[in-house]
Structure 1
Amino acid sequence: MKKIFKPVVFGFLIIPVIVSSQTDPDFKTTFKQLEGSWLMESEKGFILEEWNQMNDSTFAGASYFIPNNGKIKREHLTANTFYAAGKKIEEITISKTHDGIYYIPVVNGQNNNEAVYFKLISAETNNVHFQNREHDFPQNIIYEFTDADHITATLSGPHGDEVIIELFPYTRFP
């Protein structure tokens, strides 16, 4: 799902430091909200994003995609459907290190299938913001925790004279 906004509007969205933000939040409490399975439905198909806490400093995630051919109904989907018929599109790690917290995706077919590091620049009760200004797209990854059953992942970054913002609204699954 793509939306394009002019840079003037985007400037108001990216404020590097918000007074109430933290860059060293309680790691387990903040990211525990991600744990579990999340489903997004679009015109193109279904995306399943799964997260598990591996230890005190690491959460591991993966995303799977199943194209929507009109034959698959949401109520018939299971995690096994994605493992068997879906395509794994990325593996993700959120890791706390000595110099910060990083969101580290490895996206199939992009960046030579190598990890890209996005550093946490702000964290609040209901959202976390990672950034890598050296990366082409995205440069910003934001997870907003709407409630216990809904999150929105927002990817954004420049594209020529414009800024692309992609929204991924997920619902807890099942």
Structure 2
Amino acid sequence: MEKKPWFRNSLLLICCLCACHIASAQVQLTDFHYLDRMEGYWTMKTRLGVYAEKWKRVDDHTWKGRTMRIEGGDSTKLDDMFLFLDGDAIYFTIAAVKDKQTGEPIRFRLRVLKAIGFVAENLQSPYPQKIVYRWKDEEHMDAHFEGKEEKTTREIILQYTKR
């Protein structure tokens, strides 16, 4: 029986470590400008009315979003969201998703940020655990909220058009 050279196993280990490092380093703080595509007023018509998100840049490190439901002439604020730089990471928060102990919004760390969108995750969060925003083009944006709530898997997909 032929003995495998030890360096093959070492080479495999080095490749795995490099792949892990590359995967963890997908978000560069210098890519924060990709979020500029979020700016504006986004709407989605449903049978229950119109759902809307309005995003604006607060400063060089912060974006603020607001979701609303519009029915007839009435609008109802549903939630506030933030995207912001903190230290060496970018975070997404939703005001309604709070830490039970502190009462503060839970942070979802951006794991991927590219010109076509971003992925934010917090696997310890109550629903959702994963948030994905994707720009199909300058006028169309999808927002996905995914995760488990108790034993049920849920996914909400919002398909917005820029107004």
Letter in 2 for 1:166: I
> Which residue, out of 19, 26, 30, partners 1:22?
26
Bigger RCO of structures 1 and 2 (CA < 8 A, at least 6 apart): 1
Q: Which runs of 4+ in 1 moved over 6 A?
A: none
Superposition deviation, residue 41 in structure 1: 1.2
Query: Matched residues in 2 for 1:42 and 1:18: separation?
Result: 40
Instruction: Report if aligned partners of 1:102, 1:117 keep a CA contact under 8 Å in 2.
Output: yes
> Which residue, out of 114, 118, 127, partners 1:128?
118
Q: Provide the secondary structure at the position in 1 that maps to 2:83.
A: strand
> Which residue, out of 97, 101, 116, partners 2:106?
116
Change (3 A) 1:114 1:88: farther
Count of aligned pairs between the two proteins: 141
CA distances 1:146-172 after superposition (whole Å, capped 9, x unpaired): 000000000100245552221000000
CA distances 1:112-164 after superposition (whole Å, capped 9, x unpaired): 87422111011122020001111121100000000000000001002455522
Letter in 2 for 1:120: L
Instruction: Report if aligned partners of 1:141, 1:153 keep a CA contact under 8 Å in 2.
Output: yes
Query: What does 1:144-155 correspond to in 2, within 5 Å?
Result: 144-155=134-145
1:106 aligns with 2:98: no
1:167 aligns with 2:160: no
Instruction: Report if aligned partners of 1:27, 1:96 keep a CA contact under 8 Å in 2.
Output: no
Equivalent residue for 1:96? 85
Change (3 A) 1:88 1:17: farther
Q: Identity of counterpart residues, as a percentage?
A: 22
Query: Matched residues in 1 for 2:85 and 2:43: separation?
Result: 26
> Which residue, out of 67, 75, 90, partners 1:86?
75
Q: Which has the larger radius of gyration?
A: 2
Letter in 2 for 1:147: D
Change (3 A) 1:167 1:18: farther
Instruction: Report if aligned partners of 2:140, 2:162 keep a CA contact under 8 Å in 1.
Output: yes
Superposition deviation, residue 28 in structure 1: 4.2
Equivalent residue for 1:46? 50
Change (3 A) 1:138 1:17: farther
TM-score of the superposition, structure 1-length normalised? 0.72
